[in-house]
Amino acid sequence: MELQHILQRLQISELNDMQQAVLDQYDPSKDFILHSPTGTGKTLAFTLLIGKHLSEQANRTQALILVPTRELALQIEQVVRKVYTGFKVTCVYGGNDTKVERNKLREAPAILIGTPGRVTYHLERGHIAPADIQTLILDEFDKSLEFGFHGQMVYIIEKLTNLQHRVLTSATKMEDIPDFTGVTDHVAVDFSSDKPSAPQLVIKKVIAPAQHKLKVLFKLLCLNGDKKTIIFCNHREAVDHISDLLNDREVIHDLFHGGLEQSDRELALLKFRNNSNRILITTDLAARGLDIPEVDCIIHYQLPYKEDAFIHRNGRTARMQAKGEVFVILKPEEDYPYVSADSTIVELEEDYPMPPNSPFATLYITGGKKDKINKVDIVGFLLNLPDVEKEDVGLIEVKEKESFVAVRRSIALQLIKLAKDQKIKGKKVKVGRT
C-alpha cells in the first residue's frame, strides 16, 4: 500500500521525524519498542507497521491492538479504518453491547482493537481464534499496567501461541520490560526526551486556601474567557463538586470520568471537540491517549501525586509543538517538587466578566454509517432547511447508527422543528438536542 495515498486520506503532508524513524528502523525479524510522548502520532506509526504483515488473502484475524481505555480504542479504530480501507476492522471494549460485538466477530476481522477486559471476555467464550493472530500491538503499555490489567494481559498473550511480531509503545521510557510480554530481541526507537516535540508550556501558580479553591477556580475560568480548558481533579467527587458550581452559574461544561456511562463519556468528548462546550472537568482518565485537539489551557484543581501524571495531563494542550498554558492551584502550604519554584504566581482580581458560553450546540440525527449517511449528506440536509446558512453549521461526526452536528445555538430549537418528518437518503430521521 503506497504511503502517499494513506497520507492523503489522513490529510497529512508527510510523516513526522518519529514516524519516519519507526519505518526506517523497523526490523520484521525482531520485536519493536517505541517510546514517544503523548500527542506525537504513535497511532499512525504502529498502524503503518501492521501493514507490513497484512495479507488480503488471509481470512482470519491477523493483528491485535491492545489498549488501556475504550476511548483510545475508538480513536485508534478511526485511524486504522482510514489507513486500511480494504480490511475489516473491529473494536471491542467494556460498556459496548457484547451481543453486537459477538456478531461482528463471527466473520473474523483482519485487525482487532480492544481493551484487555473485553478481549479476555471474547477469548474465554471462543469468539476470537487466538492461534490465528501473528501481530500484537501493546499500545500505552505502561498505562495498561498502571490501570491494573496485568493479569488479563498475561492471559491474552499466553493464548497467542503463534505470535511472530510484537510491538510495544509507551509515552514514557521503560527500563524493564516484563517477561510476560514475550519481548526479547528487539529494536527500540526512543523519542521520550525529544526536545523538538516537547510542548511549549507556560506553567503558572495560583495560591488559594482550601476553603477558597472553588472561588479561585471560577475566577480563573472568568479570566480565561472563551479559552478551551480542561480542569483536572484527582477524584470523581471533586469533578462533580465543580460541576455543581458551574451549573449554578449556568456555565456550559461537561464531565469525563470512569463513573459515567460510556455513551455519556463519548458525547462529552465529542462536544468538546466540536467546540459546543469549552470546559471539560475530568480525572486522569483524560490525561492520555485521547484525541482532544486545540486545548488552550489546563487547570490542575488538584495536583497528581506523581510527576509522570502531571506531564501527561499537560500533554493535552500544546500538542505537536503548539503553545499552551497550565495553571496550578496550590494551597499556601503545598509544595510539589515537579512544580518549579520560579513559576509565575497569578494574582486574581476581584471581578471578571462571566466566561462566555460557546455560540454552538450539538444536535443528534437518527441516521449514520449503517444507513449509508455521510457528512456531505448531512450538510446538504441542513442547508436545504429554510434560513439555515453555511456559517450556522459546525463540525459533524457520523457514527454507526446516529450522527452529531454542531449548529449555532441561537437556531438549534428552530432547526429541530424544521427537520421534523424530513428524510436523508430516503430515511426518515429525527433531530434533537443532546
Domain ranges of the chain: 3-190, 200-345, 360-433
- Please list the alpha-helical segments (H only) found in 292-374: 307-314
Q: Grid coordinates in use for 124?
A: 474465554
| pLDDT confidence band for 316 (50 / 70 / 90) | low
Torsion angle (degrees, nearest 10) of CA 248, 252, 255, 260: 80
Homologous superfamily in CATH for domain 200-345: P-loop containing nucleotide triphosphate hydrolases (3.40.50.300)
201 phi/psi in degrees, rounded to 5: -100, 140
Percent of the chain's residues with pLDDT above 70: 94
Model pLDDT for residues 270-297, shown as the tens digit of each residue: 999 999 999 999 988 766 656 676 788 8
Percent of the chain's residues with pLDDT above 90: 62
pLDDT of 318 strictly over 50:
no
The answer to whether the CB of 53 falls within 8 A of the CB of 62 is: yes
Model pLDDT for residues 384-407, shown as the tens digit of each residue: 999 899 999 999 999 888 999 999
Model pLDDT for residues 112-127, shown as the tens digit of each residue: 999 999 999 999 999 9
3-state class of 340 per DSSP?
coil
**Identical fold, 3-190 and 200-345:** yes
CA-CA distance, 217 to 215, in Å (whole number)?
A: 5
Q: Grid coordinates in use for 171?
A: 509515552
Q: Cα 259 to the chain's mean position, in Å?
A: 17
| pLDDT confidence band for 203 (50 / 70 / 90) | confident
3-state class of 218 per DSSP?
helix
User: Is the domain covering 3-190 a CATH 3.40.50.300 domain?
Assistant: yes
pLDDT of 184 strictly over 80:
yes
The answer to whether the CB of 41 falls within 8 A of the CB of 315 is: no
Find which of 2-16, 340-354, 382-396 is predicted with most confidence, using mean pLDDT: 382-396
CA-CA distance, 23 to 11, in Å (whole number)?
A: 19
Q: What's the rounded mean pLDDT across residues 232-256?
A: 94
Q: What is the pLDDT of residue 337?
A: 83
What pairing do the DSSP bridges indicate for beta strands 254-256 and 297-300? unpaired
Homologous superfamily in CATH for domain 360-433: RRM (RNA recognition motif) domain (3.30.70.330)
16 phi/psi in degrees, rounded to 5: -85, 175
In the chain, the N- to C-terminal Cα span, in Å, equals 40
Q: What is the pLDDT of residue 317?
A: 56
pLDDT of 315 strictly over 80:
no
Q: What's the rounded mean pLDDT across residues 300-323?
A: 72
Q: What's the rounded mean pLDDT across residues 347-355?
A: 87
The answer to whether the CB of 284 falls within 8 A of the CB of 233 is: no
Q: What is the pLDDT of residue 320?
A: 40
